[in-house]
Structure 1
Amino acid sequence: MRLASFQITHFRSINDSGPIELSRITTILGRNDTGKSNLLRALHSLNPAEGPVSALSPIKNFPRHRRLSECTADTPVVHTRWRLEPQEQAELVRMLPRASGVSHVTAGRGYGPARWAGLEGLGDLSIDVGDAKGKIRKIVPAVKAAAEKLADELRAPLEQAADAFDGAMILNPDLLKWSEGAQLALAALRQALAAAGAELADKPAQMVTELEELSLSIVSDGPALARAKAWILERLPRFVFVDEYPALQGRQNIADYLSSEARDHLSSAQRSFGTLCRAAGLDPRELHALHERGDQATRNQLVNRAGAAMTAEIRRLWKDRPLKVRFNLDGDEFDTLVSDPGGAYEVEVGLDERSRGFQWFFAFHVAFFAGLRGEAGEQGDGAIVLLLDEPGLHLHPRSQADLLAHFEQDFAQQIVYTTHSPFMVPAGEKAPVRIAQLEGGAGTTLSSRELAAIGGNARIGALFDLAQEPPAAVSESAAATVPAEPAVAAAAA
């Protein structure tokens, strides 16, 4: 499934966001305190990756300017629309045959823990009335014709059964009620034919079978529809919401990590270390065992290979400068070291001594890209939707552009992220940017703007409602010589 759109209502600063159309990567842009994060928090509550769906607190989440008595368990909060993949459509049709034209499904929740699902474009349950009446009209005389060939004591009961069948099969607008009666009437007719030892001709017999199948399909439709809705909720991708980004420490102790893992008591830093090892293709248990056996040569070969692979990956993504990553082992101490081979002096320092921006980028790559590849597992990349609140906040503008390229090139998952940085706005001609605004009683709303025809600083100004004229204190000649990137940064500030 792919998330096509969502709408948030009655949540914190949001009265009604309006439908928000999504692509694979969607930017929600806005100034501080416009309610961008609230959109992601509400959406995350529909199917959180970290646990079961729970009730939302009205005291904490219902808009503060409204009375709590207005909020009930059924007050809607999240409405989502999902596009089915072809194989999912086929699976749905096998479950519910009348869903053959369904390509999108919906799911939502309110303040209570219950969720609901729907099938967009699912037609009302219906039958070909003319065809059913025609079959009934032909079956009754066929039964009576078969009765004419019987002895008197057998003929009368069968003729009575034919008349009873004719009366019971009168079509009712309530198809479920009709189908339940039809099943009983058809079963009684078969029983009467068997008791009389009579057989219908092939064509009327086939019509009886077809009416049985029709009535069974109607009776089964209710449970099938319930199963289809349950299937939708079971198949919903999980939402991973991140507003605090994990940091990787430059040094970890492997023995301490393994001890904490055995007790299921890993700290946040240790969990990040485990993800780093998976991303680098290293097994802490193997490294610890080799240390205890005194096989330092093999340990060094493993970490050297892992460092070279990680260096190649980071250089592909981090365009600021070609840094080198090296993993060093000192007993059970595991160090992540970073150096700049192209610098005047190739000084090697621990990861946590590098710039905050590089630490963030490195941790993001390891924890999210490398980590999520394993987490998606057999469910596929579509099983997760990433909701990122202000990613890359500490990155230089050029590094923010690298992060956008990382999203585009390396993530198969859908990504919805918020930002107030003009450098985190995609530069594509059809950039999927949604503008968050907070206006008076309307609360947080989103709008889309056509960005294809706007470029450079004018584009930034259009997004942020900034004046395009240089400040009065700057002369016309000076304004003309200001480099493009600082000019944008000044406008954004």
Structure 2
Amino acid sequence: MELKKFRVTNFRSVEDSGWIDTERITALIGTNESGKTNIMLPLWKLNPANEGEINLLDDLPRDKYSELRKAAEHLKFIEACYMLDDNEAEDLANISGHQKSELEEVVVSKDYGGNLSWSFRYECDNKLAMKDKAREIIQSILSKIKSDETDSDEENPRTEVDRIQLVLNEGLKSLSGEEEVGILIEAIVEKLGSNTDNGTENTLATGIIKKLKELLDKMDRFPLEENEEVISHLSINMPKFGYYSHYGNLDSNIYLPDAIQKMNSNNLSQRESAKARTVRVLFDFVKLNPQEILEMGKENILNNDPERTEIISRKKEERQVLLESASSNFSKSFNEWWKQGNYKFSFKADGDYFKIWVADSIRPESIELEARSTGLQWFFSFYLVFLVESQRRHKNAILLLDEPGVTLHPSAQEDLFKFFDSLARDNQIIYTTHSPFMVDAGHLERVRSVFIDSTGKTVVSDDLRKSEKLKNKNQIQSVLPVHAALGLSISDVLLNNCKIVLVEGESDQLYLTALKNFLISKNLITPLEELVFIPTGGTKGVKSMSALLSGAKNIKPLVLLDGDGPGINMKKELSKDLYANNKDCIISISEYCAVDKGEIEDIFPGKKIADFISRKLIPNENDDGDSFSDVFKEGEPICDQVKEFCESNNFELETGWKVKLAKLVKIEIERDKGKILSKDDPEIENMVKLFNKFYMLPEVTKA
């Protein structure tokens, strides 16, 4: 089960967060006191890996406390939507008798009484599904009868076949009515069973009756939310949430008797508990037993017994060998992740004390861990806890990290991303930050801004330009780390000689980055330099960004524009001005798709992306029962068709829907299941041509 999105309501400063989409790694950015922690805590309390009790006094909104506290037991505060993988959905389909497609997504919610409730977005209306299935069976049999060249045989005389046809045609008409589907099917079965041909059994009628009775049996299945086996399976397999705000930095001098006592205690402060956890994990990681280390150092020499003295000496020697072996293994493992220096850790025991010393290639003398930088201490503890616990207590858990890495140097914060990427293979991660160095400019789809609205409530948005539309000062401040991260990304590009392509928006960046990685993975392109797509905030931003980069790098970057009206106008404007002598550097996406005035979405296989939009973005039907996929027209811009379909069916598209679609498409391409794109799609040829043009065109030195 993978967390797809979640929603917080009536929790502390959050009245209604709206649905918050999640990735394998999701960043919640915002200013201090914006409510970032209040977004993560309800998730933790949904299914906590440790602690996470509900506390009405702390958790109910203070401004509504007197109003809500007496009815809080049934007040829902968190909803989480999970996506099930194919194997999970198939197992539950076998348990429940429902279709696998009905089990793709499940929503679980929790109220302040601690009660869980479940719902299934794609669960079919059982009666409607049965009608459709009955029609399908009858139409299939009628088609077979019609195509059968034999007028009659011994088992199915022609008169009997005609009678069956008549019954089935009447049945089709009755199934279009409002009457209970079970009664209608039973009536068809009864008519088919009455045989006027000398009372002999008719094999054709018997076969049809058998299929319809099997259908009636399936009508008795429980709704998914009432199926105890399904709910039990989901409850057991729902991921736990591990929340961390204190990371338990270790002391360099650990008094073992005290540490052992605290490791076994349940009555500690949050900070002391975090430190005790880190000590426990350290000994676990290096495969040492703290009690054994303590006992091996005991003197207990009686009457100067030489034999006893020898035993004690040997135990101390063995203890030192154990500690040196653990030190060596830990140092090797740690340096695979921490790139800020080549560190050597030494674990030593002195009587009842366990000591941690650190040296590195620049400062070879050993110094106590506590005397080294706070950043090194933090990463030491963080590394231990998450590397060990993510494989054990937190195996497959979702990790909620509050302000990780705040004491780290910016370059070390970048190393933390690599650590996150490794953890995210097995554990989804949601973290809060206000540091631009903790925002990955190459993955803006991971970022959600958290800010306070005009009523003082916490709001979450994945539209990073929403502040410009709402003119909300708090939201503008919340996305400053993103702007800074983009600036740092551009600086990095300039320093590292990457090739820049300016694109209109974030969705273009998402699509093109996904396509680049896909084409490289299939050996369809073999780039010799890195290609970086920089969003400019729309066509209006293309010109100013191009001028900025031209001045900074003394070159004119490549520009990719949509083939719609604004894109055509900007191409003309740039061709007359900045790119008057370099028109080849301006590329229109419509030249690489089979759609006149096409946009970036039109470069993909039309039917595939239309099907995807029907399933993921606008899963509704019009008055004729047609979905968007059914009415999609090849050769016309797909985004225009989406807007037209939604307007005509009174379906309101959410703000930033194009970016949301791009994120979903990018994830699907990365899964490489062929639902959006496969190597054999005819559109691949144009994609390869586009990227080859990017790589072949030189960035022109400014005249």
TM-score in terms of structure 1 length: 0.71
Task: State the secondary structure of the residue aligned to 1:300.
Answer: helix
Q: Structure 1 residues 400 and 224 mapped into 2: Cα distance closer, same or farther (>3 Å)?
A: closer
Instruction: Deviation per CA, 1:376-433: give whole Å up to 9, x if none.
Output: 4xxxx4x300111111122222222222221123443111000112221113254511
**In 1, Cα distance between the equivalents of 2:46 and 2:267?**
28
Check the 8 A contact 1:339/1:349 in 2, yes or no: yes
Per the alignment, residue 425 of structure 1 pairs with 439
Shift of 1:201: 5.8
My pick for the range that moved more, 236-245 or 107-116, is: 107-116
Q: Structure 1 residues 373 and 132 mapped into 2: Cα distance closer, same or farther (>3 Å)?
A: closer
1:329 equivalent to 2:349? Answer yes
Per the alignment, residue 6 of structure 1 pairs with 6
Shift of 1:261: 6.3
Q: Structure 1 residues 32 and 209 mapped into 2: Cα distance closer, same or farther (>3 Å)?
A: same
Amino acid in structure 2 at the alignment position of 1:213: E
User: Which of 385, 398, 403 is matched with 1:367 structurally?
Assistant: 385
Instruction: Deviation per CA, 1:36-71: give whole Å up to 9, x if none.
Output: 1100111211111125x86551x4333333363355
Shift of 1:443: 1.3
Shift of 1:253: 4.7
Shift of 1:218: 1.8
Per the alignment, residue 400 of structure 1 pairs with 413
Task: State the secondary structure of the residue aligned to 1:127.
Answer: helix
Per the alignment, residue 29 of structure 2 pairs with 29
Check the 8 A contact 1:307/1:325 in 2, yes or no: yes
1:240 equivalent to 2:253? Answer no
Shift of 1:72: 3.9
- Written as runs of structure 1 = structure 2, the 5 A alignment for 1:184-263 is 209-222=210-223, 225-227=226-228, 228-254=230-256
Amino acid in structure 1 at the alignment position of 2:326: A
Check the 8 A contact 2:263/2:280 in 1, yes or no: no
Check the 8 A contact 1:361/1:392 in 2, yes or no: yes
User: Which of 294, 319, 326 is matched with 2:339 structurally?
Assistant: 319
**In 2, Cα distance between the equivalents of 1:285 and 1:100?**
52
**In 2, Cα distance between the equivalents of 1:212 and 1:431?**
50
User: Which of 321, 343, 356 is matched with 1:301 structurally?
Assistant: 321
**In 1, Cα distance between the equivalents of 2:233 and 2:359?**
51
Task: State the secondary structure of the residue aligned to 2:107.
Answer: strand
Q: Structure 1 residues 287 and 72 mapped into 2: Cα distance closer, same or farther (>3 Å)?
A: closer
Q: Structure 1 residues 351 and 178 mapped into 2: Cα distance closer, same or farther (>3 Å)?
A: farther
Per the alignment, residue 536 of structure 2 pairs with none
User: Which of 108, 117, 130 is matched with 1:127 structurally?
Assistant: 130
Per the alignment, residue 488 of structure 1 pairs with none
- Written as runs of structure 1 = structure 2, the 5 A alignment for 1:89-238 is 89-102=89-102, 103-125=104-126, 126-128=129-131, 129-130=134-135, 173-174=179-180, 209-222=210-223, 225-227=226-228, 228-238=230-240
Check the 8 A contact 2:248/2:276 in 1, yes or no: no
Q: Structure 1 residues 76 and 372 mapped into 2: Cα distance closer, same or farther (>3 Å)?
A: same
Check the 8 A contact 2:441/2:485 in 1, yes or no: no
Instruction: Deviation per CA, 1:153-190: give whole Å up to 9, x if none.
Output: xxxxxxxxxxxxxxxxx998556x869x97xx99xxx9
**In 1, Cα distance between the equivalents of 2:211 and 2:379?**
64
Structure 1 residues without counterparts, runs of 5 or longer: 135-169, 191-197, 461-479, 481-493
Per the alignment, residue 437 of structure 1 pairs with 451
Shift of 1:275: 0.6
Shift of 1:340: 3.0
Task: State the secondary structure of the residue aligned to 2:365.
Answer: coil
Task: State the secondary structure of the residue aligned to 1:219.
Answer: coil
User: Which of 282, 285, 295 is matched with 1:279 structurally?
Assistant: 285
Q: Structure 1 residues 130 and 360 mapped into 2: Cα distance closer, same or farther (>3 Å)?
A: closer
Amino acid in structure 2 at the alignment position of 1:456: G
**In 2, Cα distance between the equivalents of 1:45 and 1:221?**
29
Amino acid in structure 1 at the alignment position of 2:121: E
1:455 equivalent to 2:475? Answer no
Structure 2 residues without counterparts, runs of 5 or longer: 140-174, 194-198, 299-310, 466-481, 492-551, 553-703
Check the 8 A contact 1:279/1:371 in 2, yes or no: no
**In 2, Cα distance between the equivalents of 1:360 and 1:132?**
65
**In 2, Cα distance between the equivalents of 1:91 and 1:248?**
45
Per the alignment, residue 87 of structure 1 pairs with 87
Per the alignment, residue 195 of structure 1 pairs with none
Amino acid in structure 2 at the alignment position of 1:438: I
**In 2, Cα distance between the equivalents of 1:457 and 1:334?**
42
Check the 8 A contact 1:95/1:224 in 2, yes or no: no
**In 2, Cα distance between the equivalents of 1:22 and 1:75?**
24
My pick for the range that moved more, 444-453 or 73-82, is: 444-453
**In 2, Cα distance between the equivalents of 1:43 and 1:30?**
18
Shift of 1:330: 2.9
Check the 8 A contact 2:119/2:225 in 1, yes or no: no
Check the 8 A contact 2:250/2:381 in 1, yes or no: yes
**In 2, Cα distance between the equivalents of 1:75 and 1:178?**
40
Task: State the secondary structure of the residue aligned to 2:391.
Answer: helix
Shift of 1:247: 2.3
Per the alignment, residue 416 of structure 1 pairs with 430
Amino acid in structure 1 at the alignment position of 2:221: S
- Written as runs of structure 1 = structure 2, the 5 A alignment for 1:6-85 is 6-50=6-50, 56-57=55-56, 59-66=57-64, 68-70=66-68, 72-85=72-85
Instruction: Deviation per CA, 1:428-447: give whole Å up to 9, x if none.
Output: 25451111110221611122
Check the 8 A contact 2:440/2:485 in 1, yes or no: no
User: Which of 336, 351, 368 is matched with 2:369 structurally?
Assistant: 351
Per the alignment, residue 141 of structure 1 pairs with none
**In 2, Cα distance between the equivalents of 1:87 and 1:21?**
23
Check the 8 A contact 1:96/1:225 in 2, yes or no: no
Give the number of the structure with larger relative contact order, counting CA–CA contacts within 8 Å between residues 6 or more apart.
1
Shift of 1:282: 2.7
Check the 8 A contact 2:120/2:224 in 1, yes or no: no
Q: Structure 1 residues 455 and 262 mapped into 2: Cα distance closer, same or farther (>3 Å)?
A: closer
Check the 8 A contact 2:25/2:424 in 1, yes or no: no
Task: State the secondary structure of the residue aligned to 1:435.
Answer: strand
Task: State the secondary structure of the residue aligned to 2:222.
Answer: helix
Amino acid in structure 1 at the alignment position of 2:241: F
**In 1, Cα distance between the equivalents of 2:488 and 2:88?**
44
Shift of 1:300: 2.5
**In 1, Cα distance between the equivalents of 2:406 and 2:263?**
32
Check the 8 A contact 2:13/2:458 in 1, yes or no: yes
1:390 equivalent to 2:403? Answer yes
Shift of 1:308: 1.5
Shift of 1:17: 1.4
Instruction: Deviation per CA, 1:327-351: give whole Å up to 9, x if none.
Output: 11234532211123422xx332222
Check the 8 A contact 1:96/1:224 in 2, yes or no: no
Shift of 1:366: 0.7
Q: Structure 1 residues 211 and 368 mapped into 2: Cα distance closer, same or farther (>3 Å)?
A: same
**In 2, Cα distance between the equivalents of 1:223 and 1:108?**
15
**In 1, Cα distance between the equivalents of 2:437 and 2:485?**
15
Task: State the secondary structure of the residue aligned to 1:347.
Answer: coil
Amino acid in structure 1 at the alignment position of 2:251: Q
Aligned length in residues:
413
